[in-house]
Structure 1
């Protein structure tokens, strides 16, 4: 009988357990929000040209899907350094530089973070992708994503933005952290800011 009583005494209080879980969850969320804000606040700003698709998310309203042809498609001959020895899943590091119009495009790619980067260049880190063997010892890089391919806008405004993007009038200002992580800062049409992302 006493053993049963001891078991009851040792059982954790469900209210305390729930409170601890809530604190951990809120702390994790706050950390993610602050990480995003730190990139928007301190990251280096670059301009990217977009290629949009405009679907509808019934849960969130309108959003534009943004493609970045100048950085998301990397040819094999752009890769510097060694390729992975086997098929793998990992990020790809791009070195970007601005063209004559101030738009940043990929100049080279590598499977490790570049060490020697010029002052006018920016390093951008992709989300992990599967690098497959193409033939023999040759490998290929699939389309790259960076976590900035979806941008929510007020309901009903997505199609108007898509039209402007299809006319080549839209650019995105992206802030990039020292670790190569990007966040969208502004969506622009004809160089004028249409939407400006708040820090929080």
Structure 2
């Protein structure tokens, strides 16, 4: 009887740890969506289907290729392998945010202006920093999942009209897609939970 009580207590403890971990992931994402600074990025489509999660639109951004001339501090490394990239975005006159500066592994130095935000991405592995003129960066914003059957229509429309995403950027630079926009019209909004 004692052994079965011990197993029950252990199973409950493991279940509570798992629930706590999953809750922490959901709450962290929700905190960025709720409290993060909003930026608007112009997007371009790539392709629309995932067998496990359904339709999606694969997105590319102007900020996915950062000119090495924007690096504030000369990198000590010779390649981008294993490095994070902080990109300082500045709001443009057209309302879209563009890269103004960048740095490997730490935000660019200097205080942020009111129309600036630092966004965190991961450099594509293995790029040379000595000969390449741009760093390719992924932000985890490259896919936007849609209701089944809507991915191909959205992708088709992206080829003829301007689309954008509203991105919430946390104080640590973590980005989350908040909404998908077709011009000025919001098509989808991500729920907090």
Task: Tell me the TM-score normalized by structure 2.
Answer: 0.88
In the other structure, the counterpart of 1:171 is: 164
In the other structure, the counterpart of 1:125 is: 120
Give the 5 Å matches for 1:8-87.
Answer: 13-68=6-61, 70-87=62-79
Structure 1 gaps, min length 5? 1-8
Q: Secondary structure of the equivalent of 1:109?
A: strand
Distance 1:139 1:16 in 2: 59
Distance 2:43 2:128 in 1: 29
Q: Secondary structure of the equivalent of 1:74?
A: strand
In the other structure, the counterpart of 1:113 is: 107
Deviation at 1:35, TM superposition (A): 0.6
Distance 1:80 1:10 in 2: 61
Distance 1:64 1:40 in 2: 20
Deviation at 1:168, TM superposition (A): 3.8
RMSD: 2.1
Identify the match of residue 189 of structure 2 among 172, 183, 196. 196
Distance 2:158 2:73 in 1: 35
Distance 1:20 1:40 in 2: 30
Identify the match of residue 140 of structure 2 among 144, 147, 155. 147
- Give yes or no for contact 1:78–1:107 (8 Å, CA) kept in 2: yes
In structure 2, do the counterparts of structure 1 residues 77 and 64 end up closer, same or farther at CA, with 3 Å as the change threshold?
same
Runs in 1 of length 4+ with deviation above 3 angstroms?
A: 9-12, 85-88, 131-134, 139-142
In structure 2, do the counterparts of structure 1 residues 18 and 139 end up closer, same or farther at CA, with 3 Å as the change threshold?
farther
- Give yes or no for contact 2:101–2:108 (8 Å, CA) kept in 1: no
Deviation at 1:85, TM superposition (A): 3.4
In the other structure, the counterpart of 2:150 is: 157
Structure 2 gaps, min length 5? none
